[in-house]
Amino acid sequence: MNDSDPHVNAFAEIFGDPPADYAVPVDRAAVESWLGTNLPADYKAIAATYGPLDIGARLWLHMPCVNRGWFDYGAWVQHARRNAPGVLPFGATRTADTLYWDTTASDDPDKWPVVMHCQDDENTGRDPWRRFATPLVPTLAQLVADGLPPLGRRDEDPLDYIEFEPYDPEPAADDQ
């Protein structure tokens, strides 16, 4: 654990120490350039320390990475952004819900509140948006308080066979 990073420490207090084989190299500058925005500091610190993470076997914290035939960060972000402009996805649940940051709430990514699109609510005609009004780590702490099991893991689960690779974004249109 990185004793000097308060975001990682806060996350570790809830979800435990990071796995030993966590790292998926990320060229943050390239990813942020491709996204057209900076990412929140807590997310970057957690991603660098934990890598892709299954939380309580119910919530997937996505990182800029790929797994051929299974997950491509860029394709996932593009699809999610088309379906919900003004937000940036970072996670998904096992029940087809997507977690986003509300990028319209502030120019400062560290102040973006988390919102969740609940697919079951949309399917039944209810408002599908759950608004947390807090950034990543406090929102995850609230989800644990609401019943999400506080287990962050990449070992001892069905993800053992997945070999994650770094995400290499295509250059932004204005960089070509």
Can you spell out the DSSP letters for 84-104? Answer: STTEEEEEEETTS-EEEEETT
pLDDT at 141 over 90: no
List pLDDT tens digits, range 92-138: 888 888 999 999 999 999 999 999 999 899 999 999 999 999 999 89
3-state secondary structure at position 54? strand
Per-residue buried b or exposed e for 26-56, using 16+ beta carbons within 10 Å of the residue's own CB? beeebbbbbbeebbbbbbbbbbbbbbbbbbb
- For residues 44 and 41, what is the distance between their CA atoms, to the nearest angstrom? 5
Residue 152 is given by DSSP the state E
Q: Are 61 and 151 in contact (CB under 8 A)?
A: no
Per-residue H/E/C for 102-135:
ECCCCCCHHHCCEEEECHHHHHCCCCCEEECCCC
Q: How confident is the model at residue 65 (pLDDT cuts 50, 70, 90)?
A: confident
Flag the least confident range among 7-16, 56-65, 94-103, 161-170.
161-170
List pLDDT tens digits, range 149-166: 555 444 344 444 445 556
- For residues 132 and 135, what is the distance between their CA atoms, to the nearest angstrom? 8
Residue type, 2: N
- For residues 154 and 171, what is the distance between their CA atoms, to the nearest angstrom? 30
Q: Are 168 and 64 in contact (CB under 8 A)?
A: no
- Residues 6+ away with beta carbon under 8 Å from 70: 162
Flag the least confident range among 33-42, 51-60, 98-107, 136-145.
51-60
Q: Which residue has the tokens 């950034």?
A: 135
- For residues 15 and 144, what is the distance between their CA atoms, to the nearest angstrom? 9
Task: Give me the pLDDT at residue 144, please.
Answer: 78
pLDDT at 58 over 50: yes
3-state secondary structure at position 18? coil
Flag the least confident range among 42-51, 60-69, 104-113.
60-69
List pLDDT tens digits, range 73-93: 888 899 888 878 899 999 988
The pLDDT mean for the chain works out to 80
Residue % of the chain over a pLDDT of 70: 78
